[in-house]
Structure 1
Amino acid sequence: MKYMLLIYHEEHVLDEAEREECYVESTQLAHQLKANGQFLAASPLQPAAMATSVRVREGKRFVTDGPFAETREQLGGYFLVDAKDLDEAIAIAERIPMARKGTVEVRPVIEIAGLPI
């Protein structure tokens, strides 16, 4: 089963050196997961100030700058993994470096037939 591991944290919780170390650790984790056949994708995201939100209401498009919700923690990145069950996905999530500074949300992915690979 596929799981999306969504990484939330305060955007300025890391200095540049800590951010680089986090990238190194995350890359190492990605390679370990790849070797186990569990890695599907991962990437950090640009800051929330770079986000654009799109809503359609009654056929009209509304585009606004910024993320959907104003919160202390922002979505900062993700891992997409293949795990046998929720327990295995949680075990992977706890290995993500930002789990020590923020929150990793583990969410099963619904696979829809007919989507491009």
Structure 2
Amino acid sequence: MFYAILAYHVEDELLTWTPEQDAAVVAKVIEVQAPLRASGHLGPAARLDDTRKARTLRGPGAGMVLDGPFAETKEQLLGFHLVEYDTDEEAIAAARKLREVNPTAVYEIRPVKLYVPADGFGATKG
């Protein structure tokens, strides 16, 4: 089963981090990812850009593009990890490892109902 581990954070707090603080957290997350990747459990992961740069498409027909996600919460979705495990408990354990190095983040673990592989999409991007 694939699970999406969605990373939420209070974005205003993240934006107060210095580049060095941000790089330190990212480096720790990459350290946690390494054994997950080596064991074959970690798939794609992404850190999303600022929510102020986000757009929402909603409404009938072609829809309307609106600025921002308009989340009714203090935390915003800032990234995700795609992992593969046999049980919910294993996916939760992976999220706990990620949270150990980023304890102010909130992680949502959700089974993936549909997975469409990327077929090399983005393989040449850095």
Same fold (TM over 0.5): yes
Is 1:50 the counterpart of 2:74? The answer is: no
Counterpart residue identity of residue 42, structure 1? A
Per-residue CA deviation, residues 26-78 of structure 1 (Å, 9 max, x unaligned), is: 11122211111101111111011010000132x24111010142421101111
> Per-residue deviation at 1:82?
0.5
Maintained 8 Å contact 1:13/1:101: no
Moved more, 24-33 or 45-54: 24-33
- The equivalent of 2:91 in structure 1 is 89
Which whole-Å CA distance do the structure 1 matches of 2:25 and 2:111 have between them? 24
Segments of structure 2 that go 5 or more residues without pairing to the other structure are 119-126
Count of residues paired in the alignment: 113
Counterpart residue identity of residue 39, structure 1? L
Is 1:36 the counterpart of 2:39? The answer is: yes
Maintained 8 Å contact 1:11/1:73: yes
- The equivalent of 2:71 in structure 1 is 69
Which structure dedicates a bigger proportion of its chain to strand?
A: 1
Seq. identity, %: 35
Segments of structure 1 that go 5 or more residues without pairing to the other structure are none
How high is the TM-score relative to the length of structure 2?
0.81
- SS of the counterpart of 2:113? coil
Is 1:111 the counterpart of 2:100? The answer is: no
Runs ≥4 in structure 1, deviation > 3 angstroms? none
Maintained 8 Å contact 1:83/1:89: yes
- The equivalent of 1:79 in structure 2 is 81
